[in-house]
Amino acid sequence: MSDGRADLAQALEALLRAIGPPPAPAAELQAALRRVDGLTQSLGPDTPPQLRHFLQRRSYLKALEYLQQG
């Protein structure tokens, strides 16, 4: 997994932890979501279409599973 995808996987894990249960404070959840959104925006043109689809649809668990399989 490239560094960018490893960072994205870590950010997705943090976001899913923040979602809960139990849910994290709103500020922590917002920060985790901003991190995932920023990393998603920085993905290059070589990003697999399926991964991009999961992220655009906010299917974060599927995106994380995709990254972990790759």
Q: What pTM was estimated for this model as a whole?
A: 0.91
The DSSP string of 29-46 is HHHHHHHHHHHHHT--TT
Residues of the chain with pLDDT under 50: none
Residue 2: the pLDDT is 77
Q: In this predicted model, what pLDDT tens digit does every residue of 48-61 receive, in sequence order?
A: 999 999 999 999 99
Residue 12: the pLDDT is 98
Residue 23: the pLDDT is 94
- Give dist(CA 39, CA 9) in Å, integer: 10
